[in-house]
């Protein structure tokens, strides 16, 4: 593979993971000194699409290990998306609500500059996370994100649930593990409070709280996430059918949705 000068310099200062993913751009992960608390998943050098939106990701248990969802996030990044996960590769301890805000600020400062960020589209950033990471994603609701993904998660603060949900403006999608998912009831309550003028979708796959993230390419949760980022983040209508034409149901999901016609 031919590397650009910027790629060579970056390899010298970064950690790169194994290539993978089912998308058109094989993806891996790296680190960046400007984001000491994060792992960056992105297409490999010289395979970047013309424009790359960004997904901010929070791990389950608010883990500070950016490799906890490596298979799942590599598959998402292979769709032509930069994924910034909380935590360094192999990191220890816990993340906090500030880390996603740090990542968003870094994106806005670096988009359009040297490799591999010259093709980053800072106007299209979504926030998502699993379990505790989903609660972190909710914290981004007023930051100008274009989508929110809640994976096996829901708000824990019942006293402020109605207020928080009233502030959701971007399309919000819930990917849940069915009634045995410990976050199921909270997600059900959240979904009912999504404002009527906001597109929303809720899918339940009866696999429990752990999802399928550790299966090859993230399993069925990975495939659902791929279609979500295609449609909502990359504005690629090829992902829409999964949510609007029975694709999710054929894959075993139990589905509800509201105002998906608002997503262009």
Q: Is residue 80 left, alpha or beta, with left meaning phi > 0 and alpha meaning psi from -120 to 50?
A: left
Cβ–Cβ < 8 Å for 219, 213: yes
Task: Give start and end residues of each alpha helix (H) in the chain.
Answer: 5-13, 70-77, 98-110, 132-138, 161-166, 184-192, 219-228, 240-244, 247-250
Residue 198 lies in a domain: yes
Q: What is the pLDDT of residue 54?
A: 97
Q: What is the pLDDT of residue 87?
A: 98
Residue 6 lies in a domain: no
Say what the pTM is: 0.93
Residue 256 lies in a domain: yes
Residue 13 lies in a domain: no
The CATH number covering residue 219 comes to 3.40.50.1820
* Residue 192 DSSP label: H
Distance CA 49, CA 177 (A): 33
Residue 3 lies in a domain: no
Q: Which residues contact 240 (CB under 8 A, 6 or more apart)?
A: 227, 231, 263
User: Could you give phi then psi for residue 221, rounded to 5 degrees?
Assistant: -65, -35
Nearest to 62 by CA among 28, 37, 31: 37
Distance CA 201, CA 3 (A): 41
| Structural domain total, the chain | 1
Q: Which residues contact 210 (CB under 8 A, 6 or more apart)?
A: 152, 177
Q: At 226, is the secondary structure helix, strand, or coil?
A: helix
Residue 1 lies in a domain: no
Q: pLDDT 10s per residue in the chain (264 long)?
A: 333 323 333 433 366 777 899 999 999 999 999 999 999 999 987 767 888 999 999 999 999 999 999 999 999 999 999 999 999 999 999 999 999 999 999 999 988 887 667 889 999 999 999 999 999 999 999 999 999 999 999 999 999 999 999 999 999 999 999 999 999 999 999 999 999 999 999 999 999 999 999 999 999 999 999 999 999 999 999 999 999 999 999 999 999 999 999 998
DSSP structure string for 126-151: EEEEETHHHHHHHTTTTTT-SEEEEE
Residue 22 lies in a domain: no
Nearest to 129 by CA among 24, 221, 37, 49: 221
User: Beta strands 172-176 and 147-151: pairing type?
Assistant: parallel
Give me the domain span that covers residue 65: 28-262
Cβ–Cβ < 8 Å for 72, 55: no
Q: What is the pLDDT of residue 231?
A: 98
Residue 14 lies in a domain: no
């Amino acid at each position: 593979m031919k590397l650009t000068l910027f790629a060579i310099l970056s390899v010298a200062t970064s950690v790169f993971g194994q290539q993978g993913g089912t998308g058109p751009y094989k993806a891996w992960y790296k680190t960046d000194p400007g984001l000491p608390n994060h792992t960056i998943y992105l297409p490999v050098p010289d395979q970047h699409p013309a424009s790359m939106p960004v997904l901010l990701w929070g791990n389950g248990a608010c883990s500070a290990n950016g490799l906890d969802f490596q298979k799942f996030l590599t598959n998402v990044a292979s769709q032509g998306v930069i994924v910034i996960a909380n935590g360094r590769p192999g990191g220890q301890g816990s993340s906090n609500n500030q880390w996603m805000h740090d990542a968003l600020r870094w994106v806005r400062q670096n988009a359009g500059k040297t490799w591999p960020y010259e093709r980053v589209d800072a106007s299209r950033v979504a926030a998502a996370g699993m379990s505790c990471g989903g609660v972190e994603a909710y914290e981004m609701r007023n930051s100008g994100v274009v989508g929110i993904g809640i994976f096996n998660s829901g708000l824990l603060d019942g006293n402020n649930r109605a207020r928080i949900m009233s502030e959701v403006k971007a399309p919000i999608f819930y990917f849940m593990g069915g009634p045995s998912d410990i976050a199921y009831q909270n997600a059900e309550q959240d979904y009912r409070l999504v404002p009527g003028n906001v597109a929303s979708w809720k899918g339940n796959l009866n696999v429990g709280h752990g999802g399928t993230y550790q299966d090859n390419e993230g399993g069925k949760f990975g495939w659902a996430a791929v279609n979500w980022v295609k449609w909502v983040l990359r504005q690629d209508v090829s992902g829409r059918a999964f949510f609007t034409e029975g694709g999710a149901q054929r894959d075993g999901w139990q589905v509800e949705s509201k105002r998906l016609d608002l997503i262009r």
